[in-house]
Structure formats: C-alpha cells, structure tokens
Structure 1
C-alpha cells in the first residue's frame, strides 16, 4: 500500500515532466502541456521531447535525465513499447510518482499483459506510485493541476471522482460543466496495474477539499483491501458507486475493455452494504447524487416539506416517498395556521393549487423555512397560467440562502429557462420529483447506516488440535465437521458415527431416526445415501446394508451417521469464501432457497444489527415467528448460531466453504443436522 506522502506528489507536484510533450495539436502530449498552462498550474512544467527544444513556449529536454533539477511527477504519453525504458529513466532520476497515459497494455491481450507485467516489476523495484496505464489522467482543482488530456477543466468543488473509464471521465466532466457542478479531485484509474481505488480512498479520506467520493468501476483489483479502505472512508465521507458489469454481457464487455475479471454482482452489492457504500443503478442516479452533494448546503436532517402548485405532483411525491421508505413529516399546528389562507386544509405536501401566484410560493417557502421541525423544503412547479416560473425561480434563489431549498420545475419549454437559471445559481433542481425523492432517500440511508457500528474482526483463539486436523485434510468427514463446529458452540443433534452395524448397540436406539453417509458428501440423495424417519430395527438394518452397497458402488468409504429426528423449521446457513471475504448466507430450506431464492447474504464478521437485517430481508422468516402454524421457534438460538458460524470461518481461514443444510430451529434450540466443510487446498 502506497502511503499518503507519495500520493501527495500526484496531486500537488511542485514540478511535472511531460514525457512525450508535443507541439502538434491533436496529440495527447500537446493537450497535456496546453492544459497545464491554461489551468494556471503553479508548479513548473517541464516538456520532454527527444527532438524539439521548445514546446509551446517552454524549454524542452530530450530526457528526464537531462533536467538539471528535481522532478516530482512524470506524465508519460509515449508509445507503449518504450514506456518501460522511460519508467527506468524516471527511477534513475528519483521520480517517485508517475501518470502513464499510454494505452496498449493489459487491456489489449497477451502481449499487452506481458508488457504490463514488465512495467509492474520495474515500478515495484523502485517503489513508485503510478496511475494507469491507459488513463485520461489526474486533476486537482485546488491548485490548477490538470495532468490530463481532457478538453475540460472543472470548477472547484467538494466532490472527488475516481473512474476506471476515461470515456466516463470525459462524460462526467462535460456534464459537470453544463450543470455547474464542481470537483475537488479527478482520477482516471486506467488499468489499475499499480495504484487502485483503495490507494485513492486512503488519500481522499484525509483530503480536506473532498466531502464525498464518486466511483465508476468495472473490476475490483484487491476486493478485501477495497472493502477495508472503503469502510474507513465511508465513516467520514459518502462513497457513491456505479459498478458496471452487472450482467453476463456487461461482464464480458468489461473484460474486453479492461482485461480484468469481474466479480459476482450480488456479492458486490453485499460488500457495498458492509462498507456503507451507496450503490447506484444508473448514470442518472449517479449524476443526481453528484448534483445534490455538490450544491446542497449542509442540512441537519431529512425532514422534508414539499410545496407544489398542483395536486398531481404532490401525489407523485407521496408515492415516491412511500416506495423509498422516506417519511414526509406532518406540519406543526403553528405552520398549518400560518398557511391556512393559502390552503385551509394544509398538509405535507402543501398544495398551493393551480392558480398559485409567485407571492403564494414566497409566503409558503418562508413559513416552511421558519419551522424548526423542517430541515429542507422541496419546491415543485408545473407550468400554470397564474404561476410565473421565472419569478418563482427568483424567489427560490433568494430564499435558498436561509434554509436549503430543492426544486423540480416539471415540464418542457415553459420551464427550461427557469430550470437553467436555478442550476446556474447553485440550486439543486431535478427534472422530476421522483428523482429528487430517490436521491434524498439514498443520502438519508447513508447517514442512517453510518450510525450502525460495523465489525471487521471477530476471531477467537485457534485450537491447536483443530489446526492440526485442518492441515491434514481438504475435505472433512461429518464427524470431523461436527467436532469443528462444536468447538465454537454450534449445537448438533445426538449422533452416532459408525462404519458397520456391528459397532451399534441396537437395543439402545430410540426411533424414529435418520441414517446418512458421514463421508462429507454434499448431495447425499443423489447417491441414495440418506434416509429419514426410520421407524424400527429391521428398517434400520436394511438401510445400513443398502447404503453400504451404494457407498462401495460409488467408491465412497462406508461411514455413516445415525441421528435422532428433530421437529422444527428447516433453515439453510452457509459460509463461502468469495472475492471480498467469507459470505454468510441465511434462508429457509427447501423450495424457499432452491426455487424462490429467498436468501440474505452478509460478509463476515456479522453483528447483531447485521443478523436482524438478514432476518428482515428473508420473507420466510415469518414462518419462524409463528405465521399460520402459531408455533414460535427459538430464533434467538438461531441468531447465536449465525454469529458462531461467522466467528468459526474467521478463526479458521483454512475453511473455504461450510454448509449447514439443513439447520433445524426447534422451539428450544437450533441444531446443525448436517455440515459439509471444504478446506482450501
């Protein structure tokens, strides 16, 4: 992990060398030099060109080795095949930071990957901090540093952009110029061969100019580190993520674009919840939150008053609020009294009715801003003959300095100029009220989850005997699995393990019982190696004989488990190692999991609030709470088992996968009836 000191020179270099600088318009080396000059970058710009001695009025050098002074940062835009030799020269010059603009590396196939590996080796040996390759560049608006070939330099703001796609970077910059949205830092990560999002999160967490971080991403280089650094950053500043590659087609396109493998999209969503990252479903949502966080003044809370000149938009807002679980508070008696001349039956949303004049808006907005129970006012307007949109826009701009006002001027031609005026005057304005409510609800969700304590460590002391057993195996028998899970307190039913019927004390067995293979096999039914509800000794002996034959037939060691039959609700609990860590899955067994996919997942470790959330996310949980049957099962014991499972897989990282299928939750206890554990090779 690069430290913040070395990253500092990427954003605040005192001197920068452009290797591949050019006098030819249309070339990347020309654009970068021009951008640095035009942005009034305070540091020294040093063009490097093997042929020209003067680049755009600046003295040029044939190599960084010929520059008679220290260089903080190199921006490299030469052909891919000579980039490694150029980086070696930078290392010789003791340049520790670089931005490699050049494409033609890992994203282009086998030869490009080889070239990228060669580059990695040089950079690692010389302990350099490098952005790219295949990047648009880096921008810092605070000091006029435009180390990119973008055609746009954004205005200064409080949002940082970290994007894997240079084209998306360009689109965001162009959108921001139109919408008057400002940025603090702008980072095009490129192929992420060296620095990645985790490094930038580390830096941006401490950056005083950055209040929120927006990320466009197609792949995750180091998922566990990404999760750790994102969680740390999100404790202080919201992270808004647009992660593409959600479908198979999208993953295929992402791989051809970046050369990197995508991650199971469901697990990305689980990771976002763990770290409190706001994951967007579209670029529209991404842009909406960017505008809101860029322009909206700090608000105390999310108690929103809505004012409108028509009933329809008010109903739409109420529906949108309900959909996104966003509450619109009731007005106080004082507020209702103050607006009764406008609407004698005032409620939230406040309908000013179709003949509302600008003065009615002014009165309503002032009253709502004065209400201490209201944090933000949302003004809706539709083009009506009595309502002058331009005048209402003027009123909103003037009053926005008191308590924040958002707006949605709904329509087309009649409201286009007022909408543009509001945006130009730094008022948050959405084309439709649904978009405004959704953006607010997403932001409220971030702050609500921020208050919930998350745990990232839940290990206990390892048992040396268990460690020894795990070293010698990569698949545990059921007996060994039970020994392991009992170690952390997970309950199992009364079970007798045996290989032949002669080992059993048949007279002591109480029926009914279940018989199954204990070899560690997952799909026992497929092999005829499980039978429940055996009622007597004769049936048991017949089943032992049959399963012994089936075991031999399928080349499975004859080893069996005889269990008491439990009465309870069948539940699935499992843990599997995925990209971001150990993923805990909870769901009701049988059709609920297999057909309905009614499950909830969290990344370990999980705490009480995580478990409560998992239970709430699974519709079948109602069956455990006595729905229809009136039987209430021991949910507290199940919660304890879930936490014990989380502790187990973190304490023993050798475990690759563990599945309890089923777990029986009874009226008094929770029991893992079967456990299949797979270890790492």
Structure 2
C-alpha cells in the first residue's frame, strides 16, 4: 500500500491551528507600564493608573514618570529601561511630541506592544503626520503593535484589564466592541450599565496608526468569549485588510457596523475628526455586502442586532408572518417591513385551512394573522405552530397588545413552553415578539427574553430587525453561493489586443480613447458591440451608410471629447444619403462652435438600432479613493442621471455576485419579464458583467469606463449589444506603482502554469476557484481513510468533508490571506476535469507567517505532485514576502516528512507530532521557472 501524501491544517476545522495571538500582549498582558502616570487630579495619567491598579487583571503595573519616585504610593521608574522585568504592554499618556522618543526607548527595552492615548497627531495636520511617521518607524524596528494614537484605550472585562481613562470598566459579556470615537465609547459604556450589556473586549481604536479593523476582527474572531462584533466606524482605513478579515469572520460571528458620514455634511465632519478621507457611501455599502457585514443606521440597533443574531437562526428569505391580537399594530409592522425591503408571507391554502380550524370565524384570513382581541394563550401558540410549518414563511413575529381578555404574562409562559417542547427551534425560522404596553407587559417580556426570544416595545421596530436579519443572511449567501463556471471561448479575453490599444493611446499622450477604440477594448473581452464605420468626410460617411444599410446614426469621432450629446455630436435615424451629408455637417458645425474645430476628427457611422421593447442599461467602472475600482450597473440611456437606478459592486465578480448586483436595481424586475413580456437572457447578462469585471481588473490603466447604453433585448432571440462606449485612462505622469489597488484581490493568474507528472500526464496547477466546489466533492471521493487520517489527525466522514458549508469556505478564498493550489487534469476519455491534488498556504493572523497543507489523490501519488505543489507554495510564500512557513505532521506520515525535508524544511520531532518550518528570509533564492 502506498504511503498517502497528506498532512494537517484545515482552515475551517483544524483544531490544531496555531494558538499564537499577536495581539495577546495587548489584551492579556502580564506586565504593564503606565508611561505618564501622574498624581495630578483629573489628569489622564492619574485616571489610567488608578484604573490599572483598581481592577486586578493578574499582572504587574509599573508607573513610569521621570519626575517622581512614586505615584499613588507605587514605586515609579524614570524610564522604561529602568523597569526591572520585560514589559508586555506600554500605555503612553504623554504629550504628542514626546511619543516618538518614548517609542524608541520601548523598542530598545523589548516592549511587545503599546496603546497611545495621547492626541495631537494627524488630526492636527502635517506636524502630527510627521510625528506618526516617526512613531511607526520605531515600532517596525522592534516589531511592536500599536493601538491609537488619540484613543480612550482598551478593556478586557473578563480579566479585569482597564487600560483606559474611562471612569468604569465594562461588564464582562460576549460582545466585542470597537469604536473609532473615544467619546462614543464612554456613552456606550454608560448605556451598557443601564441595559446590563456585557463585553468580551472594549476597544477605542483611535486613528489606527498600526492596529486596524482587520487586526481586531481577526483577534475577536479567534476569541472564544466573543459571539458578535460591534463597530462604530468613521473611516475604513486599510480597505483590503478590513474586507479580508470581515469576510472570513462574518460567517461564524456577526459583524454589525454603524458608519458615520452617510450624508455629505457628516462625511466632512468625520474627515476633520479622524484626519482620513471618506469615500462614497454607496461604495461602502457595496463593500459591506461583499464581506458579509451588516450595516445599521442607529446606535441602538448595533446591540439589538448583536443580541438577535446570537439568539435566533438567520432567515432564509425576506417573507415574514405576523401574528397579532390587534389589527393596527399588524399594519404598522407591515408598513415598516415592506418599506425596508421585506415581504409579507403569503399564506398557503393548507395553512389557511388549518387556521380556520383553530381560530374564530372572524380572524383576518390573511397575513397579518389577526387572532382577535380576546385571544387566549392557546390561540397564540396554535396560530404560531401553523405559521411556522408554512413553507412560504421565512420568519415569525408575534404581537401582543394588553386587552381585557389577554394575559401578557401567561401568553409569554405558553410561548416559552411551546418553543421549549420543540427544542427551541421553529422549523429553522427566527421568532421575534412585540409585547406592547408599559409595566403590565414587563413580566411577559422577561419570560420571552429568558427563552431567547427578542422582544420589542413597538412592532415596527421588530419588523425592521427582521429585515436586518434577512439582509445579513442575504449578504452571506451572496458571498458563499457556488457560482457557475463561465465557458472559455477561444481567444477570449484577448488581453494583448486591449493592452496594445491602451499603450498606443498613452504613447500619444492621450487620456481619452475614441468610441471606436473603446469598443475594440470591449470586443477583446467578448462584449458584443454595434458595428461601426469611421468617416472623415461626407463622402466616406455616405459610403459607410450604404455599407451598413439605412437607417443609420452618426456620432462624433474625437480624441478629446467623451460626452458627445453635450456638443451636438449625435444625429439619429438618418434615412438616406442626403440626411447623412446634412448630419455630418451639423455635427462638425456644432462641435466647432461649442468646443473648437480641433476636437472634430470625423464621425462614426452605425446602424440605427430600434428599441422595440428592449431595455437600455448602463455598465461602468470608476475609481473610489478608498476601494479603488468599483463597478456600476443599472438603468441606462440619456436619463441615467435622473432615475439613478443603479447598483455598486466591487470587482472581481463571478456569476453569483453579478446576479446579486443586478438584483439591487429596479430594472432587474423588468429584465426578469413583466406584463407578459419575456425576460432577457439573464445568464448572458451575468457573463457580460463578469467579463467586464475581468476587463477592469486586468487593464489597470483604465481610470473610467462605461457602456451606455447597453441594449438588452428580451425573448428567445434576445441579445446584448453595446451601442456606445467611453474609456478614460490615467494621466501620462502617473506611474504604475501609483495606480490604486483593488480592495479585493483578483484571481492570481500569475500562479497558473502546466506541469507534467512522472507518468507523462499533464496537469494545470492553478489557484482554486469558487467554481471548483463540484470538482472538490469528486476529489474527496478518491481519498482513502489513511489519507484522510493523515490530513486531519482523525477520520472525517465523507459527508462532512463534502458539505457545502465546508467546501464553500475552502474554494471561495481570499487570495490576499490564503492561497490554495489545485492540480487540474482534463481526462482525455471523459473530457471532464478532475482535481488530483490540493495545496494550501494559510496566513496566520497578525504575523507574517503561514501554515501549509497538501493532499494528493491516492491514485496519483508517487508522481511527484506532492513535491511540486510544496515547491510552488514556498515560491508563492517568497513572492508574497512571508517570513516563515510551518506545518504539523503526524509521526506516521513518513512520506510527507521526506518531501518537507527534500524542499528545505527543518523538522522537529516529538512523541506525537513533527513540526516542519522553513525560514524564507534565510534560504537562498529559489528558481521561479515553475511559477509564472
């Protein structure tokens, strides 16, 4: 029997994943230095020291003050070097100008991390920015992590650490709270005491000089005490870091954000407060959707949603069933439900029949289910049971108003017992409650809350919460649904054609591409365009029209003007040669008068395309200052700015994400077919959006591009056709390294290349794709029990290994924090693709290191695949500038140990584990021949 080539580290399930926490020295320090500790009443330094010593956290506190021998009765030290033992965490509360020097001393003393409370940095302008540069330069020299500056500090309520100048420490709980505003932190803290809300961590992040959203999301994502993460945000900071972390953590722990700056006035206020640029709010919404983050608009909703998402299952759809003993509250809930994107569930015939048997004759016979004002507890539970079983419902809301025949407390007791009998589950559907009234309903509310049923004073608030739950579920499904794989067309995309066109225009010093050039760019990526013919005089225009056939359209040809209609540069529906000659002269005259004759180079002649029930769409891309290239889709034509029916998304797209983008618009309802009209080819439109996204990702010199209109014709013979296109490039002085990075790293094509196994079979080794889920299922069916045991350290059932929830996370990866290679083999007999091996490189949170894993199908072992995959992972690690790669291998897995040693890993053997490690900074440069 062959020795299986496989070993540990499963990003989704491996319990042996590294326990190292780079931010551990901040949240669980053993020694803390309070630099700037003071006895001055009312000072930050005094409050900080008092908080540290007044809340025992299991560590030692060292005051640092060069002017005093003791502070508050505790021996003080003149500087950090004088502290008698190594310091994990330095809390700095001194004037801004002194902080760079203090940081230098901390580095020399080997301090692991710092929290800088001091203000006076980038928020004050250039002088503060220079101080920050000096601080970060020192921190990097010592590999220190920094929270702040200009922050309140941090709390770990479970250990008792209060490294802030707030008056009290937060209660321990399961919510991780991060705020960019220190003042808001104190307000939330006061509120939490009244509402009895507890926290696993309470962090004022300040201006994010070093530790940012991504670092803290990863930390709280790994923290077993944290069940949900709540964020008050003013600026996004490192967009790619935030999106990578949020996307990974949001599937297991809800992330709820309130973002200041939704209005233009608020955005300007946030800029002045944080010293950071704020981008488009629409783009931020798109980024949150893409990463599975739930955005709310009210501070109260932050913690409402943290509670409800922890207590209740996520709805599978937007349809809510409302059960009420009063009509008015049901109507109010319905209004809010539909106004914020939800739907009222339509009762099935069987559900209505069942309700008729248990409710009085005068019940509403529709949703909301009005069970009348004399409803007893049994009537509530009977209606709830029927509604929960109805397949047309995705969630349940029970509303009670105190009436003479209704007992709020007993009804709550019955609901609690009813749900408990069913194991706390209502057919996988969330249940919310609104017990309306004052003191008389408080006992009932307490009973429901103890049964993990969230309660709300007002029914419209409960309906709004349900829609937030659905939005959160919808966002996550959009991320992890398995997309369709686009069929490769011969020669598409023709990247070289597009690159040559762009290079030609840039060499001419131009930033605006002509319409003809713009359409050639689209055609290179398989996007159909209307036929065009260039004419530089009247006779050529007539010849073009005769060639294409009447009627025709004439459009301005210019290398400088992009909006043709603004200068009279378009003439439509020209029926004969005379009309073409007149139109040519009219365009030339109008452009010369409005913009100057030098901007007129002739015209393009195109067939006149009749709308005939077709839809005018717009597809485009522009640059956001925080997220780089963003995509736009919506209703097009001349009134695009009037209707503003559009959706924003971040590239790159796949078919699922393209469909989700379309679903955000009003025009999508028409595209599906309306009033007897057939739908357009939505699959073809998805493909077009994916190819357009690919164009934007690959052609980075493009600053703006739009297709308007894109004509979408319905029916079996429907088509998609770009009638007009516009491309604007970056200015000639812009260098390639100055081009903005994409917020989401695109598919790394540089790691795709063929390789031949020992038996002569050729495979393509490439990064994994979301579309590989089906192939991954087949791959796992080829593995022996021994291969599985060597890989996961225990036997894992096939059904568990191929579960969609697991494979979607392994196939749909963030290439910025993880890289997985597959060996893709096209079977010459079946003409189908097979995965023969998988190799994975997973970055460790907060450190510049990664763990790797490899698994080879049993039938294809001893063909050199394991060695080749590992060599490529090492080279990728070097390309990505990692410091170290490690792995843990079972002692019995001799083959994997041999391969690891063969490619340069050092092995450390213990009784039950072999640790493999390679220092990429120390090894000689590897050949890059095998990785293009």
Band the TM-score falls in, shorter-chain normalisation: 0.7 to 0.9
Counterpart residue number, 1:437: 463
Is the aligned partner of 1:102 residue 2:145? no
2:706 maps to 1:680: no
Q: Identify the match of residue 477 of structure 1 among 511, 514, 518.
A: 514
Q: Is the counterpart of residue 214 in structure 1 residue 230 in structure 2?
A: yes
Partner of 1:517: 556
Give a deviation string over 1:93-125, Cα, whole Å, max 9, x none.
122311111112222344333333333333344
1:554 deviation in Å? 3.9
Query: How big is each residue's C-alpha offset from its partner over 1:20-70, in whole Å with a ceiling of 9 and x where there is no partner?
Result: 123344222222223233333112222212233333443321211101211
Q: Are the equivalent residues in 2 in contact too, given 1:339–1:346 (CA < 8 A)?
A: no
CA contact (8 A) 2:213 2:241 kept: no
- What do the CA deviations read for 1:627-674 (whole angstroms, capped 9, x no partner)? 569576555544432222111111212211101122223454222122
The Cα offsets for residues 537-577 of structure 1, whole Å up to 9 and x where unpaired, read as 23323443454555663422514322122223332221112
In the alignment, does 2:604 pair up with 1:561?
yes
The question of whether the paired residues in 2 share the 8 Å contact of 1:73 and 1:95 is answered with yes
Structure-2 change in CA distance of 1:652 and 1:299 (3 Å): closer
8 Å contact 2:292–2:479 — kept in the other structure?
A: no
Instruction: Identify which range, 268-277 or 52-61, moves more after superposition.
Output: 52-61
Alpha-carbon separation, structure 2, partners of 1:365 and 1:60: 66
SS of aligned partner of 2:554: strand
- 2:457 aligned counterpart, secondary structure: coil
Aligned to 1:640: 687
Q: Is the 8 A contact 1:49 1:63 kept in 2?
A: yes
Q: 1:326 to 1:491 in 2, by over 3 A?
A: closer
Match of 2:210 among 171, 194, 199: 194
Q: Any idea what the Cα deviations from partners look like across 1:457-489, whole Å, max 9, x if unmatched?
A: 999977345334424513322232222211110
- The answer on 1:463 being equivalent to 2:495 is yes
| CA deviation after TM superposition for structure 1 residue 600, in Å | 2.2
C-alpha deviation, 1:312, in angstroms: 4.0
Deviations 1:163-186 (A, max 9, x none): 111122122222222212222122
Instruction: Give the direction of change, closer, same or farther, for the CA distance of 1:611–1:180 in structure 2 (3 Å limit).
Output: same
Give ranges in structure 2 of 5+ residues lacking alignment.
Answer: 1-18, 426-430, 732-932
1:68 aligned residue: 84
Q: Distance in 2 between matches of 1:624 and 1:308?
A: 37
Provide closer, same or farther for how the CA distance between residues 372 and 545 of structure 1 changes in structure 2, counting only shifts above 3 A.
closer
1:659 pairs with 2:706: yes
CA distance 1:425–1:555, shift in 2 (3 Å):
same
Query: Match of 2:118, SS?
Result: coil
Equivalent of residue 284 in structure 1, options 282, 287, 300: 300
Q: CA deviation at 1:427?
A: 6.4
**8 Å CA contact retained: 1:305, 1:368:** no
Question: Hey, what does 2:573 align to over in structure 1?
Answer: 533
Q: Is the 8 A contact 2:321 2:344 kept in 1?
A: no
- Over the aligned positions, Cα root-mean-square deviation in angstroms equals 3.9
Q: Does the Cα contact within 8 Å between 1:664 and 1:672 map onto a contact in 2?
A: yes
Decide which of 603, 627, 640 is 2:650's aligned counterpart. Answer: 603
Larger relative contact order (C-alpha < 8 A, sep ≥ 6)? 2
Kindly indicate whether the alpha-carbon contact (under 8 Å) linking 1:231 and 1:275 is maintained by their aligned counterparts in 2: yes
CA positional deviation for 1:343: 9.7
* Mean Cα deviation higher: 404-413 or 239-248: 404-413
Please state whether the residue corresponding to 1:555 is helix, strand or coil: helix
Runs of 5+ consecutive residues of structure 1 not aligned to the other structure: none
Q: CA deviation at 1:232?
A: 2.3
Q: 1:136 is matched with which residue?
A: 152
- Map residues 151-190 of structure 1 onto 2, 5 A cutoff: 151-190=167-206
* Deviation of 1:237 (Å): 2.0
3-state SS of paired residue (2:289):
helix
Return closer, same or farther for 1:168/1:618 CA change in 2, 3 Å cut-off: same
Deviations 1:399-427 (A, max 9, x none): 88763875433233545677679779986
1:494 to 1:342, Cα distance in 2 relative to 1, 3 A? closer
Post-superposition offset of 1:218: 1.2
- Residues 4, 202 of structure 1: 8 Å contact kept: no
Displacement, 1:676?
1.0
Whole-Å separation in 2 of the counterparts to 1:504 and 1:308 = 71
Contact 2:494 2:525 in 1 (8 A): no
Q: How many residues align?
A: 675
* Match of residue 342, structure 2, among 311, 325, 335: 325
Offset at 1:75?
0.9
For residue 209 of structure 1, report the CA deviation from its aligned partner: 2.1
Aligned to 2:720: 670
Equivalence map 1:23-62=2 (5 Å): 23-62=39-78
Secondary structure of the structure 2 residue equivalent to 1:6: coil
Equivalences for residues 263-302 of structure 1 within 5 A: 263-293=279-309, 296=311
Whether the aligned pair in 2 keeps the contact of 1:585 and 1:601 (CA below 8 Å) is yes
Cα separation, 2, equivalents of 1:113 and 1:7: 25
Contact 2:634 2:645 in 1 (8 A): yes
In 2, the alpha carbon distance for the partners of 1:631 and 1:300 equals 31
* Greater mean deviation of Cα atoms: 592-601 or 88-97: 592-601
Classify the secondary structure of the residue corresponding to 1:574. strand
Which of 596, 615, 618 is equivalent to 1:572? 618
260, 264, 271: which one aligns with 1:255: 271
* Contact 2:155 2:201 (C-alpha < 8 Å) held by counterparts: yes
In structure 2, relative to structure 1, the CA distance for the partners of 1:466 and 1:560 (3 Å cut) is: same
- Taking the TM superposition and a 5 Å limit, the aligned residue runs for 1:260-409 are 260-293=276-309, 296=311, 310-323=326-339, 324-325=341-342, 340=358, 354=373, 360-361=376-377, 373=389, 380-384=399-403, 403=424, 407-409=433-435
* Residue-by-residue CA offset, 1:153-206 (whole Å, 9 max, x unaligned): 222222211111112212222222221222212221111222221222232232
Contact kept? 1:354, 1:386, Cα under 8 Å: yes
1:140 touches 1:185 (CA, 8 Å); kept in 2? yes
The answer to whether the aligner puts 1:493 opposite 2:540 as a matched pair is no
